[in-house]
């Protein structure tokens, strides 16, 4: 099964078996936070995902938190490139 990089956290957040692969079982104390993070991720609220998962201690929750922060940073970088006046991405003909 091929998974896009952006879909990896969503896959990790699933709380079920998929194609015989047992996805992570979360600590009982983290289940509510993980479910909230899953909903927020689906809405692309990446900064909120990171905030919700901050107190979690499992390695998968830490990974998803860091990945959400990375994606948020990339999103902000892309937005700033589009909004900066005078910044122009060269077309293929300009090279």
The model carries a pTM of: 0.61
Q: Over the stretch 45-83, which tens digit does the pLDDT of each residue have? A: 999 999 999 999 888 889 999 999 999 999 999 888 888
Q: Under a CB-based contact definition with an 8 Å cutoff, are residues 13 and 37 in contact? A: yes
Closest alpha carbon to 38 in 17, 70, 16, 20: 16
Q: CA–CA separation, 58 vs 37, rounded Å?
A: 14
Where are the domains positioned within the chain? 5-83
Distance of CA 31 to the CA centre of its chain: 17
pLDDT at 26 over 60: yes
Both tokens assigned to 21? 């692969």
């Amino acid at each position: 099964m091929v998974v896009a990089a952006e879909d990896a956290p969503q896959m990790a957040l699933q709380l079920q078996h998929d194609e015989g692969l047992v996805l992570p079982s979360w600590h009982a104390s983290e289940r509510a936070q993980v479910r909230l993070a899953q909903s927020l991720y689906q809405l692309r609220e990446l900064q909120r995902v990171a905030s919700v998962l901050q107190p979690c201690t499992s390695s998968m929750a830490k990974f998803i938190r860091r990945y959400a922060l990375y994606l948020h940073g990339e999103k902000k970088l892309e937005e700033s490139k589009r909004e900066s006046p005078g910044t122009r991405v060269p077309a293929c003909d300009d090279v």
